[in-house]
């Protein structure tokens, strides 16, 4: 039996990349989704909308909280039955505890995020010690892990340091260029934001920058592509005639929403979580022929800016007003033909990274 165990919320872009790669490598795969804090209706909706398209051999969706740990483990073992595991893929940082006792010919742990996320809301001594403890517990569970797959080279370094493990491979969150592309549409929107309202998205700073941009030119148009109500902060001081909120569960519709924009915002503050992440939106913006406004911090995103002319990096020590001035001047003068957007997109094409990841799985 080949088995994927995923614990976490539905992160469709990353999961699509991993599912497609694993299906091509192992053909018949069984899937368990351990779904924290997602109600029954949402689980069925996501299953019908997204999971069902991958035609897993068998699927099990479990609602899980840690007080149900033993019940969840029992359900997993009942799902496996007497089958021998050839491949075991554990997706998500917290998936490890549900698979470390299972024996397989090959076990791969896919880490998409790190527990340091907890320090965003409470960067205290106690919270940092809790993070240290989580890493220490994971270190005791990795004896059967053959490979760890992360989203960035910086996350590789963190994982190696924390777990004392060398078998690590970075595969960025890449883009399906058959879906996201430069559609034949008018780019009538100046700036867009794609994503959630999570604290690490720095929407308070993005909001201040957008306010300053609007002050400079009241004809600018803004678009927010999100189902998260927290993103409404971006419209705090911008009239409804200049900003719109759109959303869709369909990748194709999201792709067209982006393609109608000239620039995409990817602003992050300097925090360990941001330094090791690789946001989905970078590749999706670029594939849609949008230049990118991002932050000059020590993360893999900056490496792409260093190699390719794909937009503008702003410095966190600048004021929002100064950032907006630089962005406005760049936006007024840029020409897409002078950028390296197409070349950079090729380096983030999902097909290329599926081939690279499959080589690691052999």
Give 32-65 pLDDT, tens digit per residue: 999 876 666 666 777 777 888 888 999 998 876 6
Note whether 279 and 173 are within 8 A (CB): yes
Note whether 17 and 35 are within 8 A (CB): no
Nearest to 47 by CA among 15, 88, 79: 15
Question: What pLDDT sits at residue 68?
Answer: 76
Count of residues making up the chain: 362
196-231 pLDDT, tens digit each: 999 899 999 999 999 999 999 999 999 999 999 999
Question: What pLDDT sits at residue 41?
Answer: 63
Contacts of 261 (CB under 8 A, 6+ apart): 187, 189, 190, 191, 192, 223, 288, 290
CB atoms within 10 A of CB 24: 13
320-359 pLDDT, tens digit each: 999 999 999 999 988 767 789 999 999 999 999 999 999 9
277-293 pLDDT, tens digit each: 999 999 999 999 999 99
Question: What pLDDT sits at residue 192?
Answer: 98
Multiple choice CATH, 2-171, 3.40.50.2000, 1.10.3720.10, 1.20.120.80, 3.40.50.11720: 3.40.50.11720
91-108 pLDDT, tens digit each: 999 999 999 999 999 999
pLDDT higher than threshold 80 for residue 182: no
Q: Do 2-171 and 189-347 fold alike per CATH?
A: yes
- Arithmetic mean of pLDDT over the chain: 93
Structure confidence at residue 184 as a pLDDT band (50, 70, 90) = confident
Helices 280-287, 251-259: axis angle to 10 degrees equals: 60
pLDDT higher than threshold 90 for residue 141: yes
Instruction: Report the run of H or E that residue 130 belongs to, with start and end.
Output: helix 125-139
Q: What residues pair up with 2 in beta bridges, in sequence order?
A: 87
pLDDT higher than threshold 80 for residue 154: yes
Multiple choice CATH, 189-347, 3.90.550.10, 1.10.10.10, 3.40.50.2000, 1.20.1250.20: 3.40.50.2000
Question: What pLDDT sits at residue 8?
Answer: 87
Note whether 98 and 72 are within 8 A (CB): yes
Question: Tokens in use for 52?
Answer: 């069902």
Question: What pLDDT sits at residue 38?
Answer: 63
pLDDT higher than threshold 70 for residue 146: yes
Q: Tell me, letter by letter, the H, E, C secondary structure of 226-289.
A: CCCHHHHHHHCCCCCCCEEEECCCCHHHHHHHHHCEEEEEECCCCCHHHHHCCCHHHHHHHHCC
64-79 pLDDT, tens digit each: 666 678 888 999 999 9
234-274 pLDDT, tens digit each: 999 999 999 999 999 889 999 999 999 999 999 999 999 99
Structure confidence at residue 19 as a pLDDT band (50, 70, 90) = very high
Question: What pLDDT sits at residue 211?
Answer: 98
Structure confidence at residue 186 as a pLDDT band (50, 70, 90) = confident
Question: What pLDDT sits at residue 216?
Answer: 97
Looking at residues 298-317, what average pLDDT do you find? 97
Q: Phi/psi of residue 323, each to 5°? A: -60, -50
Question: What pLDDT sits at residue 262?
Answer: 96
Question: What pLDDT sits at residue 37?
Answer: 66
For the chain, the domains span: 2-171, 189-347
Quote the CA–CA distance of 341 and 177 in Å, as a whole number. 13
Note whether 248 and 229 are within 8 A (CB): no
């Amino acid at each position: 039996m080949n088995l994927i165990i995923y614990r976490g919320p539905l992160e469709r872009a990353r999961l699509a990349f991993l599912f497609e790669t694993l299906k091509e490598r192992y053909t018949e795969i069984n899937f368990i989704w351990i779904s924290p804090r997602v109600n029954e209706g949402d689980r069925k909706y996501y299953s019908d909308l997204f999971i069902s398209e991958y035609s897993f051999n068998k699927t099990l969706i479990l609602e899980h909280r840690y007080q149900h740990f033993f019940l969840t483990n029992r359900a997993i073992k009942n799902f496996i039955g007497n089958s021998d595991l050839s491949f075991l893929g554990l997706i998500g940082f917290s998936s490890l505890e549900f698979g470390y006792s299972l024996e397989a010919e090959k076990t791969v742990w896919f880490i998409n995020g790190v527990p340091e996320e907890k320090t965003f809301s409470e960067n205290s001594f106690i919270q940092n010690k809790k993070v240290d403890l989580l890493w220490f517990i994971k270190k005791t569970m990795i004896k059967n892990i053959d490979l760890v797959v992360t989203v960035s080279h910086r996350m590789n370094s963190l994982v190696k340091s924390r777990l004392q493990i060398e078998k690590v491979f970075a595969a960025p969150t890449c883009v399906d260029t058959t879906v996201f592309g430069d559609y034949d549409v008018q780019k009538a929107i100046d700036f867009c934001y794609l994503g959630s309202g999570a604290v690490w998205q720095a929407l308070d700073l993005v909001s201040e920058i957008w306010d300053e941009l609007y002050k400079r030119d009241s004809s600018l148009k803004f678009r927010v592509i999100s189902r998260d109500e927290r993103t409404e902060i971006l419209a705090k001081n911008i009239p409804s005639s200049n900003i719109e909120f759109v959303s869709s569960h369909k990748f194709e519709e999201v792709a067209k929403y982006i393609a109608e924009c000239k620039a995409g915002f990817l602003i992050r503050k300097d925090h360990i979580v941001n330094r090791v992440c690789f946001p989905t939106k970078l590749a999706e913006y670029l594939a849609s022929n949008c230049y990118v406004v991002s932050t000059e911090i020590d993360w893999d995103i900056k490496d792409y800016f260093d190699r390719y002319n794909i937009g503008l990096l702003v410095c966190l020590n600048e004021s929002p007003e100064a950032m907006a001035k630089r962005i406005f001047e760049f936006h007024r003068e840029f020409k897409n033909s002078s950028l390296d957007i197409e070349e950079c997109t090729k380096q983030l094409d999902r097909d290329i990274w599926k081939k690279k990841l499959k080589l690691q799985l052999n």
